[in-house]
Amino acid sequence: MLDRLNQQPADALLALIKLFDADPRADKIDLGVGVYRTDDGATPVFAAVKAAEKKLLTEQDSKAYLGPEGDMGFVHALMPYVFGAQDPSKGGRIDGMQAPGGTGGLRLAFALAKRAGINRIITGSPTWPNHPQILADLGMEAVNFNHALPDGTADLEALRAAVANAQEGDAILLHGCCHNPSGIDYTPAQWDEIVTIIADAGILPIIDLAYQGLGQGMEDDAAGMRKVLAAVPEALICYSCDKNFGLYRERVGALYVMGRDADETAKVLTNGHILARVNWSQPPDHGAAAARIVLEDAGLTKQWLAELDAMRDRMREMRDTLAAADNRVAGLDLTAIATQNGLFSILNLNKDQILAIREKHGVYMAGSGRINVAGLTRGNIGKFIEALADVAG
């Protein structure tokens, strides 16, 4: 019976990784894989996480199951950083559960929405490719609107039109910060308008907050989401620690629910527990436990935030350097890159140019023109700018 399955195409990013690995050139540049890298090209383990893991090694006294809700100490320790001074408890209106990475949180959020009778999710385009893939797997409809304008800013008019055409019982998916793949975030003024648009429409916001701290800082990166939560009765928030703790392979995430009251939140989470049970049963423990230890120790928290600041500053330096090179690259407007946030930006290159920069210069990027800014270093950014000038001119 298994012969009924059709051959599926290889994941484009995984194929790109194989091409990069097979390239013998010593000066090749990998801008495809979406992980943070230092100026030496390494993806390090945070020193704060290493210290927490040492503590975990000596103090952890059991490997027994935690239950489908996961490490609730981790879930609650994270809440002040996610929800800030607007009272994380919200009188019990906000609570959460651990998930295997931000992807697990998204899967739970979409599945909960479907259980609640929601079948359409309004989604900006472009978006992270896994968003529409998860929705399709769940049999839900993605209703797309244009996210980005040609000048590298957000298309708020398109969002406004999409919400105006929303049907009763729709939800909207919003990137909390560091938009993947464009790096184009909403401004504070735009978030103010979005809050009004969503509240007036009565649709459910689902917020993907996967990169908090990598854009403008922990507080600024959560500000838009917090404005939304202050104005609506219900929301789902999907969170990832894979990036801001460097815990990629540990798959550390959470789903938070804000209900109309504490009873509704608790009821929603019982459904989340059932869905988790039938999907992955129990989430992995190690990474979440390490993050919890960091968040419970003032010294480790300070160290973690300092490491996060250094990551953000390095990426900002690469963005500023690229933007300053705008006059050296004919046919491309690089100036907006300095105003964008997080790991990613999209360059307006066609497929022939993307192929040419790979074959002639050993620069690897996604076929959409998305680059991982953290793949650039002080040592290779000059080569990258010259390669851009060659293929774009």
Write down the residue that tokens 């991982």 correspond to.
372
Q: Which of 128, 235, 290, 325 is catalytic?
A: 128
The CB density around residue 32, as the number of other CB atoms within 10 Å, is 23
Q: Which of 148, 166, 191, 243 is catalytic?
A: 243
Tell me if residue 128 is catalytic: yes
C-alpha 217/C-alpha 309 separation (Å) is 7
Q: What are phi and psi of 257, to 5 degrees?
A: -120, 130
Tokens in use for 120? 């359409």
- In Å, how far from its chain's centre is CA 333? 25
Q: Which of 48, 113, 210, 254 is catalytic?
A: 210
Largest Cα–Cα distance in the chain? 62
- In Å, how far from its chain's centre is CA 378? 25
Dihedral sign for Cα atoms in the order 334, 340, 344, 346? negative
The CB density around residue 348, as the number of other CB atoms within 10 Å, is 13
Length of the chain: 393
The helix (run of H) or strand (run of E) holding residue 279 is helix 262-279
Q: List 363's β-bridge partners, or say none.
A: 29
C-alpha 235/C-alpha 348 separation (Å) is 34
Give which of 218, 201, 132, 210 is closest to 176, Cα–Cα: 210
Tell me if residue 210 is catalytic: yes
The helix (run of H) or strand (run of E) holding residue 293 is helix 286-296
Tell me if residue 243 is catalytic: yes
Burial-class residue 52 by CB neighbours within 10 Å (0-12, 13-18, 19+): buried
C-alpha 111/C-alpha 90 separation (Å) is 24
Tokens in use for 130? 């896994």
* Cβ atoms of residues 217 and 349 within 8 Å: no
* Cβ atoms of residues 141 and 172 within 8 Å: no
Give which of 223, 297, 295 is closest to 252, Cα–Cα: 295
What are the catalytic residues? 128, 208, 210, 243
